[in-house]
Amino acid sequence: MTDFIAPYTGTVIQKCLDEGAILIGKCNCDPWGFGGSGENSGYRPTKHPLDHERSPGGSSSGSAASLASGVGFFSLGTDTGGSVRQPASMCGLYGLKPTYGRSSRYGIGVMASSFDTPGFFAHSMEDTILLQEIMEGKDEFDPTTQEIEKKSYSTSNSIKLRIGVPKEYFEDGLNPEIEKLIKLKLADLKSQGHQIVEISIPSTKYALPIYYILVPAEISANRSRYDGVRYGKKVSDNYEENLIQSRSNYFEEEVKRRIMIGTYVLSAGYADQFYKNASKVRTKLKREFEEVFKSVDVIICPTSPTTAFKIGEKTADPVQMYLADVYTVTANLVGVPALNIPIGKDSNGLPIGMQVMGRWFEEDKLFNVR
């Protein structure tokens, strides 16, 4: 809301301020991170700085667009299913989602508690390394943060890696220009002395559907606090009328859609069929990642199946919009760190990114992919 002033400062923001960063302002985004394009915002869609008819991606759309347009040295965002990496790919930026529990979620508007991860955008790998060193660490206000050894990532940038390339990520639906640039980058990495290994993560094909069961379920539970009294805008002195009208008038369509999906999959008679089974597949997917990381150090795959799409192109079909996150949701399902690296542009001059995923709490391996 336009008149809202946060009562406290988020931990990752405070850590940046403590190091001398200057907060310029707040950026536009999909409400609570519900979206992949910045088009759901109550402040109207965010426009891509290279083409105002296109979306910069989302949900952290304003953070990506502002940095890509030359405003600031870095920008913050949250990543629940790709909301930092996907717009980073579409705007030609570095975008990091660290391991779940490496950086504090305190002060961040909650979307799905077991997925949300504070991330950020930067112009270079060096800035990415510096920012992660500043933001990470145990926080007494966030019990999900882990006690980890503080390290300097900038001192370890010459390790030869075993790079896994999952075949499931290079099938139908991927823009050929993106696939071509990634393969050229893999060839370059091989020439640097890194080993390229084809791998398989079979349950990847279920990642998107289970994400859109589990995340709306957590959304439904978390949004129950928005009753127009404790949170939200008051529109009536009658509690029930206020609850109905504040949600009806001030929740955007995508917000309502995700709440309804989540409420449905948690409802009596359907929770076992949907939520419970999706949770089992999430566990299976994590085990597959554990097995893969016994033989490789990092995984390389696309970040987005397309480059920046036009505003309005996907809004009429929510499923097509959800498919924009098909390569990014997996990292959030299993909690591994993931980084978007810009690798070039397509024939229309639009940026293309490549995603690197690593073992839990091994961000340093990601920073070795140059």
Domain assignment present for 206: yes
In single-letter form, the type of residue at position 260 comes to: M
State the pLDDT confidence band at 1, using cuts at 50, 70 and 90. Answer: low
Provide the 10 A C-beta neighbour count for residue 163.
Answer: 22
| pLDDT computed for residue 157 by the predictor | 62
CA 322 to chain centre: 13
Residue 290 has pLDDT above 70, yes or no: yes
- Write the Ramachandran bin of 72: left for phi over 0, alpha for psi from -120 to 50, otherwise beta: left
Domain assignment present for 50: yes
| pLDDT computed for residue 188 by the predictor | 97
| pLDDT computed for residue 224 by the predictor | 86
Yes or no: say if 302 and 182 are a contact pair by the CB < 8 Å rule. Answer: yes
- Write the Ramachandran bin of 269: left for phi over 0, alpha for psi from -120 to 50, otherwise beta: left
Distance separating alpha carbons of residues 271 and 280, to the nearest angstrom: 13
**CA within 13 Å, CB half, 73:** 11
Q: Whose structure tokens read 């690798």?
A: 343
Q: What are phi and psi of 358, to 5 degrees?
A: -130, 180
| pLDDT computed for residue 226 by the predictor | 85
Domain assignment present for 6: no
| pLDDT computed for residue 190 by the predictor | 97
Domain assignment present for 275: yes
In single-letter form, the type of residue at position 159 comes to: I
Element (H, E) at 199: strand 195-199
Task: Give, as one character, the DSSP assignment of residue 58.
Answer: S
3-class secondary structure, 223: helix
Domain assignment present for 5: no
Over range 292-319, report the average pLDDT: 96
Runs of H (alpha helix) within the chain: 11-18, 61-68, 85-91, 125-135, 176-191, 207-223, 239-250, 253-266, 277-292, 318-322, 329-334, 363-366
Query: Structural domain of residue 133, as residue ranges?
Result: 11-366
> In terms of C-beta density within 10 A (0-12 exposed, 13-18 middle, 19 or more buried), how is residue 216 classed?
buried
pLDDT 10s digits, 29-83:
999 899 999 999 988 999 999 999 999 999 999 999 999 999 999 999 999 999 9
| pLDDT computed for residue 270 by the predictor | 92
pLDDT 10s digits, 100-124:
999 999 999 899 999 999 999 999 9
| pLDDT computed for residue 159 by the predictor | 84
| pLDDT computed for residue 2 by the predictor | 67
In single-letter form, the type of residue at position 348 comes to: N
Nearest to 286 by CA among 215, 213, 204: 204
| pLDDT computed for residue 152 by the predictor | 75
Which CATH number belongs to the domain containing residue 295 in this structure?
3.90.1300.10
Residues 282-299 as b/e (b if ≥16 CB within 10 A, e otherwise) read beebbebbeebbeebbbb
Domain assignment present for 155: yes
Nearest to 283 by CA among 327, 334, 329: 334
Domain assignment present for 4: no
Give the count of domains, the chain.
1
| pLDDT computed for residue 189 by the predictor | 97
Yes or no: say if 196 and 301 are a contact pair by the CB < 8 Å rule. Answer: no
Residues 78-104 as b/e (b if ≥16 CB within 10 A, e otherwise) read bbbbbbbbbbbbbbbbbbbbbbbbbbb
pLDDT 10s digits, 167-213:
999 988 999 999 999 999 999 999 999 999 999 999 999 999 999 99
| pLDDT computed for residue 155 by the predictor | 58
Domain assignment present for 88: yes
pLDDT 10s digits, 237-280:
999 999 899 899 888 999 999 999 999 999 998 999 999 999 99
**58-72, 122-136, 223-237, 316-330: which range is least confident on average?**
223-237
pTM > 0.85: yes or no: yes
Q: What is the mean pLDDT of the chain?
A: 94
pLDDT 10s digits, 327-343:
999 999 999 999 999 99
In single-letter form, the type of residue at position 86 comes to: Q
Provide the 10 A C-beta neighbour count for residue 217.
Answer: 23
Q: Which residue has the higher pLDDT, 122 or 25?
A: 122
Q: What percent of the chain has pLDDT over 70?
A: 98
